[in-house]
Amino acid sequence: MSRQFTSVWTREPRSRPAGPGRSREEIVKAAVELLDAEGLGGLSMRKLGAKLMSGATSIYWYVATKDDLLELAYDEVWAEISVPDPDEAHWREVASVLAHSMRQAMLKHPWSADLIGRLPALGPHAIGVSERMRRTFRLAGFTGTDIDFAGATLTAFIFGMTTPEIAWETTVEGVWDTAAAQAALTKAAAGHPELLDAIGTMPDEDPRVMRAMAFDFGLVSVLDGLERRLAT
């Protein structure tokens, strides 16, 4: 038996009850703040009600389930992603700004990485980003399904680079002793000269700077590859 598809964005918003109360916008804003502070595990209707100085029951007037609330909050992350007008900028510039902006939005809201692929991105902000991205690759010269494949390639790179970065920053960074970790890595790589050489030549640079440089290197490489496909 197939599962019924459902999304908060495909249903009519619940009517606001009579009398004073919070708006859905206020509830979503508070949910984002709670998620930023405590992550997915820290979000509950009870905690949200306490933050809003309102009972959890009253929140259900506006948001039927926790997943609905997460969908609404998730779209607020997409609202922070900048995408230049593809009719006014070169496609590589649009893709580059989008990629860096999406990375920053995910780093600012690390909980969002756990929702990718789990919840539909059908909110107005997510749809707006997707629309501009698709137009960007169509104007670049891609045709048919290649338009969508180009967009999927770009977002897969962004998600693939940023998700491990978030995992590191939220669970590891600042916890391990750097010198001890490097010594352990050197021991584990014994007998593997290429890895030992890489460990020995690691620049003495802020890891966040290095991750940003790695992201930029990869992004340029992806765009170069897409441009090469256009040329052939």
CATH number at residue 26: 1.10.10.60
The residue segments making up the domain with residue 56 are 8-77
Residues 56 and 85 occupy one common structural domain:
no
Q: Identify the band that residue 4 occupies on the pLDDT scale cut at 50, 70 and 90.
A: confident
3-state secondary structure the chain: CCCCCCCHHHCCCCCCCCCCCCCHHHHHHHHHHHHHHHCHHHCCHHHHHHHCCCCHHHHCCCCCCHHHHHHHHHHHHHCCCCCCCCCCCCHHHHHHHHHHHHHHHHHHCHHHHHHECCECCCCHHHHHHHHHHHHHHHHHCCCCHHHHHHHHHHHHHHHHHHHHHHHHHHHCCCCCCHHHHHHHHHHHCCCCHHHHHHHHCCCCCCHHHHHHHHHHHHHHHHHHHHHHHHHC
Which of residues 23, 56, 77 is at a domain's end?
77
Residues 112 and 138 occupy one common structural domain:
yes
Residues 114 and 218 occupy one common structural domain:
yes
pTM above the 0.75 mark?
A: yes
Structurally, the chain folds into a number of domains equal to 2
pLDDT in tens, 19-51: 556 788 999 999 999 999 999 999 999 999 889
* Domain-embedded: residue 65: yes
Nearest to 32 by CA among 71, 82, 83: 71
Which of residues 23, 54, 77 is at a domain's end?
77
Q: Identify the band that residue 182 occupies on the pLDDT scale cut at 50, 70 and 90.
A: confident
Residues 109 and 156 occupy one common structural domain:
yes
Report pLDDT for 59.
84
Residues 86 and 70 occupy one common structural domain:
no
* Domain-embedded: residue 19: yes
Which of residues 19, 48, 77 is at a domain's end?
77
CA distance 32 to 60: 17
Residues 115 and 147 occupy one common structural domain:
yes
* Domain-embedded: residue 37: yes
Residues 94 and 111 occupy one common structural domain:
yes
- At 223, which amino acid appears? L
Buried b / exposed e over 219-228, threshold 16 CB at 10 Å, is: beebbeebee
Residues 6+ apart with CB under 8 A from 165: 107, 211
Residues 13 and 118 occupy one common structural domain:
no
Residue 200 has pLDDT above 90, yes or no: no
* Domain-embedded: residue 128: yes
pLDDT in tens, 116-175: 989 999 999 999 999 999 999 999 999 999 999 999 999 999 999 999 999 988 876 556
